[in-house]
């Protein structure tokens, strides 16, 4: 599991923290962190550490599943959970998700690895002790106090790039990257001329600080020098937490759920990433101080900043999710540990932890067969689930965060299908169900606001509202694109197509719309 690069490095602090006295707290204990304190700790750590990245290829499940890539930007959004996070204007969120986690075949030089381990043995041993005391898990150690069965590999940035080139571009991955490129173009989040594949390849190797691989049971740290930096020390704590998770709960099995949607895989990843992020925040408490200004965000044309939400979602909202489980478990790790047997299966459950605790499940949504109304030039290249966070990303590209979050909050389930034809036209069919008719209406109004602000490359669209028997129908007609939305009770149908005739062919397959 990968950890993303940070824009600020804390100053060196050689004082080792003693975590041994910080046992599992109870609400009455003098040693506890309150809910607010835990959330502040995580928020401050993320605020101080997370880099502003304008674009990066995010294969959110590359290490654990051959699924679609996602891209990394910077902004984090305020979510309607008990622990609000900074708004999209203020700072970034943390891959499916997020930053890509390449399936590694490490090739660091032996000299680098050995020298790094020897030079930093004391710090590594102290970090291991502190991390184990925080998380109340442990791994077998050798006579030196280092992990007995978990190699600690150091590699340079150039070695990471070589790993990426050697492992990331098989046929399935290339098809996945192309499907996501087509989806983001259809949603208006990516310029058709933007080189998505190159962005994935380049940025995937620029913002990873380290990762743990369940496949080879090893930790890999990006370290350009033989002396561990404060940032690398925090990365070690984060990745060592993943090693313990894998030993106790089996990360490879957890995140390789056959047939799971992208939204479900993103939610599942939020559990171990949120867990490790909370451990990292507690490890950093009192040990380091983050004082540097964030690195400026490079400007990249042709891509929406909103897509970065996917990247940091497992880290930021995952940490909030884990904090809520920690509190629900009477200020212990018990419910967090139990969650690995029954992980969250939707971004909704992560954003609203009480829905997870209450066992509230998404409603399955099926789509009709469209091949009978589309000619042979069309082919389906993707069928998946947006989830609540997916709708947030789509909306927040145009409207403010409150409208986007409120609009998506009533999500109860969805499925979309993406088709392309030989002329490079795109057809997106998105069917969703909401918790109530009023929630569906709130989303429709947010979507209408978003579309009214969206300018396509063809200019301002013509619009029309309502039809006989369908008061909630809305149309947007561009020169080369047409958008349609309609509501029936708790259901919403959205169709994006090259022309109105194609929309109506698809629409005819949905009863009542």
Taking alpha carbons only, the member of 504, 369, 503, 491 closest to residue 426 is 503
Q: Of 302, 324, 357, which residue constitutes the final position of a domain?
A: 357
Residue 86 inside a domain? The answer is yes
Count the residues in the chain: 513
Q: How many whole angstroms separate alpha carbon 491 and alpha carbon 236?
A: 46
Residue 212 inside a domain? The answer is yes
Give the up-direction half-sphere exposure of residue 144: CA atoms within 13 A in the CB hemisphere.
12
pLDDT (average), residues 120-138:
93
- Tell me, what CATH number does 444's domain have? 3.40.1000
Q: Of 357, 391, 419, which residue constitutes the final position of a domain?
A: 357
Write down the pLDDT at residue 157. 85
Q: Estimate to the nearest angstrom the gap between the alpha carbon of 1 and the chain centroid.
A: 12
Write down the pLDDT at residue 116. 63
Residue 272, SS3 per DSSP: helix
Q: In the predicted model, what is the mean pLDDT of the chain?
A: 77
Q: How many domains does the chain have?
A: 2
pLDDT (average), residues 268-294:
80
Structure tokens belonging to residue 215: 């496949």
What CA–CA distances, in Å, run from 423 to 173, 419, 420? Answer: 23, 12, 8
Which of 160-174, 269-283, 432-446 is least confident?
160-174
What CA–CA distances, in Å, run from 258 to 261, 265, 475? Answer: 9, 10, 37
Q: Are residues 384 and 289 in the same domain?
A: no
Q: Are residues 352 and 278 in the same domain?
A: yes
Range of the domain at 428: 379-507
Is pLDDT above 70 for 12? no
Taking alpha carbons only, the member of 218, 214, 256 closest to residue 236 is 218
pLDDT (average), residues 466-471:
71
User: How many other CB atoms are found less than 10 A from the CB of residue 65?
Assistant: 20
Per residue in 215-239, pLDDT (tens digit) is: 999 998 888 777 788 888 899 999 9
Q: How many whole angstroms separate alpha carbon 2 and alpha carbon 251?
A: 13
Give the up-direction half-sphere exposure of residue 9: CA atoms within 13 A in the CB hemisphere.
10
pLDDT interval class at 103 (50, 70, 90): very low
State phi, psi for 337 to the nearest 5 degrees.
-60, -40
Residue 512 inside a domain? The answer is no
- Tokens 């991955």, residue? 173
Q: Are residues 385 and 296 in the same domain?
A: no
Per residue in 162-195, pLDDT (tens digit) is: 887 766 667 888 888 899 999 999 999 999 999 8
Q: Are residues 57 and 118 in the same domain?
A: yes
């Amino acid at each position: 599991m990968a950890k993303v690069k940070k824009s600020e490095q804390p100053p060196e602090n050689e004082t080792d923290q003693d975590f041994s006295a910080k046992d599992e707290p109870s609400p009455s204990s003098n040693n506890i962190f309150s809910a607010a304190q835990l959330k502040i700790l995580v928020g401050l750590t993320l605020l101080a550490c997370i880099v502003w990245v304008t674009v990066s290829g995010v294969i959110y499940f590359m290490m654990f599943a051959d699924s679609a890539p996602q891209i990394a930007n910077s902004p984090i959004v305020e979510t309607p959970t008990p622990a609000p996070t900074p708004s999209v204007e203020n700072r970034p969120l943390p891959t499916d998700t997020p930053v890509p986690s390449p399936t590694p075949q490490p090739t660091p030089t032996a000299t680098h690895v050995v020298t790094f381990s020897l030079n930093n043995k004391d710090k590594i041993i102290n970090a291991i002790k502190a991390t184990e005391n925080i998380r109340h898990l442990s791994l077998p150690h050798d006579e030196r106090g280092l992990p007995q069965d978990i190699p600690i590999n150091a590699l340079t940035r150039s070695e990471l790039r070589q790993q990426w080139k050697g492992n990331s571009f098989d046929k399935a991955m290339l098809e996945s990257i192309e499907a996501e490129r087509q989806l983001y173009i259809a949603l208006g989040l990516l310029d058709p001329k933007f080189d998505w594949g190159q962005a994935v390849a380049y940025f995937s190797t620029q913002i990873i600080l380290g990762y743990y691989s369940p496949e080879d049971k090893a930790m890999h740290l990006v370290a350009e020098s033989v002396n561990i930096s404060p940032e690398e020390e925090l990365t070690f704590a984060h990745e060592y937490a993943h090693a313990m998770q894998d030993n106790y709960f089996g990360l490879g099995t957890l995140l390789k759920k056959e047939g799971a949607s992208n939204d479900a895989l993103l939610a599942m990843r939020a559990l171990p990433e949120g867990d490790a992020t909370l451990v990292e925040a507690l490890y950093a408490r009192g040990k380091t101080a983050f004082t540097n200004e964030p690195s400026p965000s490079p400007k990249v044309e042709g891509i929406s900043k909103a897509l970065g939400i996917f990247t940091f979602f497992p880290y930021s909202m995952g940490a909030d999710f884990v904090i809520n489980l920690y509190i629900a478990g009477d200020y212990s790790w018990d419910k967090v540990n139990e969650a690995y047997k029954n992980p969250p299966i939707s971004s909704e459950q992560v954003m609203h932890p009480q829905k997870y605790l209450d066992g509230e499940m998404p409603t399955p949504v099926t789509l009709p067969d469209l091949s009978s109304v589309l000619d042979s030039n069309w082919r389906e290249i993707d069928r998946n689930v947006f989830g609540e966070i997916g709708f947030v990303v789509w909306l927040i590209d145009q409207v403010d965060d409150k409208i986007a979050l409120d609009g998506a909050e009533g999500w109860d389930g969805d499925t979309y299908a993406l088709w392309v034809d030989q002329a490079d036209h795109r057809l997106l069919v998105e069917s969703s169900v909401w918790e109530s008719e009023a929630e569906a209406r709130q989303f429709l109004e947010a979507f209408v606001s978003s579309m009214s602000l969206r300018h396509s490359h063809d200019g301002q669209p013509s619009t029309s509202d309502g039809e006989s028997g369908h008061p909630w129908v809305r149309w947007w007609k561009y020169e080369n694109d047409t958008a349609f939305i309609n509501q029936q009770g708790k259901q919403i149908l959205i169709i994006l197509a090259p022309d109105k005739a194609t929309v109506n062919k698809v629409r005819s397959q949905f009863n009542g719309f």
